[in-house]
Structure 1
Amino acid sequence: MLPTTQPTFWRDPALPYIELRQVLDGRRVTYAPHSHQQWSIGAILAGQSEFVCENRLHHVSQGHLVIMNPDKVYACNPQQNSAWAYYMMHVDKKWLAQLLFESGVRAEPHWQDSHLDTLNMPLLYQGFVKLCKLLLSNNPISTKQTQLNDYFVALFNHLDCNSRTIEPIFLVPNALYQVAHYLNEHSLDDTSISSISEHFGFSTSYLVRAFKRHFNMTPHAYRLNRRIQLGQQALKKGQAIASIAYDSGFSDQAHFQRVFKQRVAATPEQYRRSLPL
């Protein structure tokens, strides 16, 4: 029997800070550049792929872990004719930061980005694959919680010891961040990019070029990405797809589904379905 091309999503109300995706046959999967609000980690189970994180290109294959910080633009796609399978886990950054603080891994309870995009270390790779299989199993929640804690403590002990000293990053306020904040806060509005450019004192062409250079997305793509994040939150609550499309600022359900699949590599209905508890 051929591997299924349908993604499997695992979520559990008892562990609301974790979302896991399993893809056993991703040869036809394509991702547009996108970002997540969560910290993310994935394991390549088979095949080869190109992993672009911000402006950095990595060629990864079976045995590699890929790591993405919150709100950083990335895309990971299979190389042509390569059988591709993977796990991808999204982790709430506040929960993870608190775990690392309480475990003594980090000295501060607020989130600080990890410093590696990829990792090729068999023990940590095998540990992550084992953790994913455990989450997908019928084992008790207490067992899953313990293994989650133990794995992330071990992983970040390695990540932090093999990168430069972690220091909080303070972004210098500038008008581009003001535009990004506006797009986040008003993502459901259809205000034209030219009007937004004028409001912040830019020409439209300059804003699009500068914004893309800084955030790796155009303002329009950034706003669409935020709408998809809102759509994902609504899908987890079981809301109707047609109403989500309208509430998320899309012209119709077909538009929502097309943009959603470009960034999630699954339809809204596939994303809403998770494994039974």
Structure 2
Amino acid sequence: MAGHNWIDLAQDADTGIETLRAHFEGHAYDPHWHDSFLVGVTEQGVQQFNCRRSRHHSTPGQVFLLEPGEIHDGDAPHEDGFTYRMLYLDPAWLQREITAVFEQAPTNSQLSFTQTLTDDPQLAQATSQAFQSLHTGELRIVRQSALDQLLERLTGQLQWRKRYHEDPRLPWAAHKAREYLHAHLHQDIGLDELAFACGVDRFRLTRAFKSAFGLPPHAYLVQLRLARARHLLAKGEVPADVATALGFSDQSHLGRWFVRAYGLTPAAYRKRCSNVPDSQPLA
């Protein structure tokens, strides 16, 4: 990590929720996405990021909310950088817990945040308290109480939206390409192969895919592999094995992409999530 950047990451054993506190100066991370719901609070400075085709500026006390799959980046527009704390909430866990509040989810629906940034001070406090109790390993009853308070405040920022197997607003070819990438994420896929599977030429496919999902197919495939790498590393798998399993050329190749997206190395992420001792250099 460059300059005075730092990251402090942990994972709660009971819920699987990751907690992260970090500070960045200048460029923080490249466009990427997570398969978790992100709930965070900016502590210091201004956090600038692009999401939902808009540029946002999160200032101290503001809560930022991102859904699984939402592409976002991060930069510090001022010299003193920014500091934030974040919770990564597993979608299955959140939906299970939140249905106790909403009673019953509408048919064929999924959870969605109503906005990306909010000035709700009670939600900011609940987020910070949940972070603190999980990150420091408080008693189970304390952690559960803090999460209940967070869920209670979070309901004001959540809604149910209709779930589509194929979103009619997006081109069919883009959906087909995304399905193909998910099914073959371990393979060395070429654009010609992908275009042939979708029945269009690669130029039209690239334009349609980027319009639909915000990234060209090759960048989406990298993000897909990185999301899978996080899961494997958190389970304690060795970075070199993860790199091989997911189609990266070697451990260094995985490491370069991982740092650009998440700000820390695969080995460091593995160590902090799984508490498995390092048996090899960081990469």
Give the structure-2-normalised TM-score. Answer: 0.87
Aligned to 1:178: 176
The Cα shift of 1:121 comes to 1.8
> Which structure has the highest strand share of the two?
2
Task: Tell me, yes or no, if the aligned pair for 1:101 and 1:108 is still in contact at 8 Å.
Answer: no
Please give the secondary structure, in 2, of the residue aligned with 1:211.
Answer: helix
Aligned to 2:105: 107
The Cα shift of 1:246 comes to 1.0
Task: Tell me, yes or no, if the aligned pair for 1:105 and 1:153 is still in contact at 8 Å.
Answer: no
Matches of 2:26 and 2:54, distance apart in 1:
23
Aligned to 1:45: 43
Matches of 1:46 and 1:68, distance apart in 2:
19
Matches of 2:197 and 2:139, distance apart in 1:
54
Structure 1 residue runs without a partner (length 5+) = none
Please give the secondary structure, in 1, of the residue aligned with 2:212.
Answer: helix
Q: Deviations over 1:211-243 (max 9, x none)?
A: 111101110011111111111111111111111
Matches of 2:28 and 2:192, distance apart in 1:
30
Q: Deviations over 1:67-116 (max 9, x none)?
A: 11111211222214132111121111111112111123663496321121
Task: Tell me, yes or no, if the aligned pair for 2:126 and 2:149 is still in contact at 8 Å.
Answer: no
Aligned length: 267
Identity score, percent: 23
The Cα shift of 1:256 comes to 0.6
Please give the secondary structure, in 2, of the residue aligned with 1:274.
Answer: helix
Please give the secondary structure, in 2, of the residue aligned with 1:33.
Answer: strand
The amino acid of 1:20's aligned partner reads T
Matches of 2:263 and 2:103, distance apart in 1:
34
Mapping for residues 1-277 of structure 1, pairs under 5 Å: 5-16=5-16, 18-23=17-22, 25-28=23-26, 30-104=28-102, 107-108=105-106, 111-156=110-155, 158-160=156-158, 166-170=160-164, 171-172=167-168, 174-274=172-272
Give the superposed CA RMSD.
2.1
Q: Deviations over 1:139-188 (max 9, x none)?
A: 212210221122112221x224xxxx643142238221111011011111
The amino acid of 1:19's aligned partner reads E
The runs of 4+ residues in structure 1 deviating greater than 6 Å are none
The amino acid of 2:215's aligned partner reads M
Matches of 1:60 and 1:35, distance apart in 2:
18
Structure 2 residue runs without a partner (length 5+) = 276-283
Structure possessing the higher relative contact order (Cα contacts under 8 Å, 6 or more residues apart): 1
Matches of 1:78 and 1:117, distance apart in 2:
18
Please give the secondary structure, in 1, of the residue aligned with 2:181.
Answer: helix
Matches of 1:28 and 1:247, distance apart in 2:
33
Task: Tell me, yes or no, if the aligned pair for 1:9 and 1:273 is still in contact at 8 Å.
Answer: no
Please give the secondary structure, in 2, of the residue aligned with 1:152.
Answer: helix
Task: Tell me, yes or no, if the aligned pair for 1:54 and 1:216 is still in contact at 8 Å.
Answer: no
Matches of 2:150 and 2:103, distance apart in 1:
12
Matches of 1:58 and 1:105, distance apart in 2:
33
Matches of 2:4 and 2:128, distance apart in 1:
18
The amino acid of 1:151's aligned partner reads L
The amino acid of 1:31's aligned partner reads Y
Matches of 2:91 and 2:190, distance apart in 1:
32
Q: 1:121 to 1:106 in 2, by over 3 A?
A: farther
Give the structure-1-normalised TM-score. Answer: 0.89
